Structures are given as C-alpha cells and as structure tokens.
Amino acid sequence: MTSAKPTVYFLCNSNCGKSQMAEALLRRRIGDAAEIRSAGLEPGERVNAEAAASVARAGGDMSGAVPEPVDRNLAEAADHVIVVGAAEVGGAVGAAEVERWEIDEPALRGIEGAARMDLIRDQIDARAAGLADRLGR
C-alpha cells in the first residue's frame, strides 16, 4: 500500500486463530506504527475463544476481531504478506513475496487446551517481535 506506514497482512486458513493472534500480538508491540490486517482462505464464523484468551493473557486484545476473507487487492498492495501456519495460499494472493511462519502444533504431542494455545501464542509472538524489529519499531 502506498502510505507512510508499512502494511502487514497475516493469512491463515480460517482467520479464527493464528492470523488473528499474529495481528493482535504485532499490534501490541508496535501499536499503529503499521497498518496490520489479517484474513483467511475460508473464514470461520467467529474467532477462537481459546486463542483470544491466550492473547489476552499476554497483554494483547482480540475482542474486536472478526474473521475476514482474503482480499487479493490488500495482499498485492501489502509490504509484508505473512502466512501463519500451513495454509496453502497459492493464487489467492498476488503478492510478489510471501513469508511463511511455520507453527509447531502442540496437539501432536498431546498438549491441549490453554497450554496448547499459549505455546502457539508464544511461537507467534516471538515471530512478531522479530517482525517489529525489522519494521524498526
């Protein structure tokens, strides 16, 4: 996007958990120093309550989050398009460069509930910290 602020567009499959977490956690770190959005390939009906609670425990806020579909125009104009997790965006975005944040799935090791979500949150938050540094914030 052509603005004074860099733009970041987080994508995942449903825009109910990981991409919404990434949006909230980056916003917690840099405030409005960037335009931050998130979307899903097949948006769900509502944000995952466990994800929102986990982000809240870390000082973030997902209370106003609503799952949104991918907007190709936003993706093409964004400075940073980041796929959070295993979503296969393929031709859904026309961005020149797409970064992927691989996320380890704790459930594969038998970790469920709040502990699972906090582990996912911490992985995303570490990546958000690195992105905030790259953005100079």
pLDDT digit string (tens) for 25-36? 999 999 999 999
Please give the pLDDT value at position 108. 95
Dihedral Cα 1, 36, 126, 18, nearest 10 deg: -120
Q: Where are the domains of the chain?
A: 7-131
Higher pLDDT, 97 or 38: 38
**pLDDT of 96 strictly over 70:** no
Please give the pLDDT value at position 61. 97
Q: How far is Cα 109 from Cα 29, in angstroms, rounded to an integer?
A: 30
Length of the chain, please? 137
pTM: 0.93
Please give the pLDDT value at position 135. 92
**pLDDT of 120 strictly over 80:** yes
CATH topology of domain 7-131: Rossmann fold (3.40.50)
Q: How far is Cα 72 from Cα 91, in angstroms, rounded to an integer?
A: 9
Higher pLDDT, 137 or 121: 121
pLDDT band at 136 (very low <50, low <70, confident <90, very high): confident
